[in-house]
Chains A and B, each alone.
Chain A
Amino acid sequence: EPEVTQTPSHQVTQMGQEVILRCVPISNHLYFYWYRQILGQKVEFLVSFYNNEISEKSEIFDDQFSVERPDGSNFTLKIRSTKLEDSAMYFCASFRDRGGEQYFGPGTRLTVT
């Protein structure tokens, strides 16, 4: 069964450093999302991406964040200068049809020290 993969599974970084979180969505999917979940809190939408551009972003997704789909398979989330409060689990999700089932990757746990 196809699945969304994410790397790394855990990333530890120092405050102020740049991190890139990587996702490989399911190959025939068209919509790509990033979410984050701070420990003990709810899943929060960050950004949606369709047709090689951002379709919507939340208030959390400020200038420190960017997304790219550099080739036909990868979908990346970059945080330019990490803050302590960026520590969270980051989930990538993809789906084929708008309104359809979102498939989530296993997540990357980001720890900012």
Chain B
Amino acid sequence: RKEVEQDPGPFNVPEGATVAFNCTYSNSASQSFFWYRQDCRKEPKLLMSVYSSGNEDGRFTAQLNRASQYISLLIRDSKLSDSATYLCVVNGDTGNQFYFGTGTSLTVIP
């Protein structure tokens, strides 16, 4: 059983496009949800936490659907610098363990 599942992509989109990534998680007791980005051979960096009511940070919008155990990330007006792998992260039921998805690869094309 995979704790977190993501579409690996790759997503190749032109600059300015809107792109959406989805993630599902298996543990209904999970309480903390995050999107991280990871550049090639670098460490993951937090993009945004995901709150129950949904949240927005500039061009990025995250949504959580607890009933469906589903998380999404929307990127509007894609920039070349958005090219990276986007990781969905969910905590386990004890709160001490974090599960990462395999990541979704995004390439923004000029």
Contacts and interface: CB of A to CB of B under 8 A. Distances in A.
Contacts, number: 49
B53 interface: no
Given A99-B91, A101-B49, A45 B43 contact: no
- Where chain A touches its partner, the secondary structure class is strand
Interface residues on B, range: 20 to 34
12 contacts: A33-B98, A42-B87, A42-B102, A43-B38, A45-B97, A45-B99, A45-B100, A48-B96, A56-B97, A99-B32, A102-B98, A107-B42
Given A91-B44, A99-B32, A101-B34, 4 more contacts: A42-B101, A50-B96, A101-B49, A104-B43
A-B pairs, top 8 by smallest CB distance, nearest first, are A56-B96, A104-B43, A43-B100, A42-B102, A99-B32, A48-B96, A55-B96, A101-B46
